[in-house]
Amino acid sequence: MMNLLFLMLISLFISMLIMFLSNFLSKKSISDREKNSPFECGFDPKSSARTPFSLQFFLIAMIFLIFDVEIALILPIFIILKFSNSLIWFLTSIFFLLILLLGLYYEWNQGMLSWMQ
């Protein structure tokens, strides 16, 4: 029992010694103002990093994300053609494309696709 306690104390001491040495050796001796800035290039920021971004950019990003998901859903339609009933495949494909076209018309009608405002 005493040997186990002694080994635990030695392992605790060695681990604390290694942690202290790594902390002591890893500290930088010279603290540079440019190195501590949030930009890696070393330039001082001219304005706040918390500036709001354009809402138009956000809407375009959302439209792109929706377009990306649409492409991922459209691509398997042609692969499924070999394994399914032609009438059911045709009806579901037309229904899906109709929903996408109605969404595109709605975005166009709301003015979300106009790039310049």
Tokens 């899906």 sit on residue = 96
**pLDDT at 38 (0 to 100):** 61
Tokens 């492409």 sit on residue = 71
Residue at 106 is within a domain: yes
Q: What is the pLDDT of residues 12-22, one digit of tens each?
A: 999 999 998 88
Q: Give the total number of structural domains in the chain.
A: 1
Distance CA 28, CA 46 (A): 27
Residue at 47 is within a domain: no
Angle at 98 between CA 111 and CA 105, to 5 degrees: 10
Q: What is the pLDDT of residues 80-100, one digit of tens each?
A: 888 888 898 899 889 988 998
Which residues in the chain land under pLDDT 70? 27-51, 115-117
Residue at 93 is within a domain: yes
Structure-token pair, residue 53: 């971004």
Range of the domain at 79: 55-110
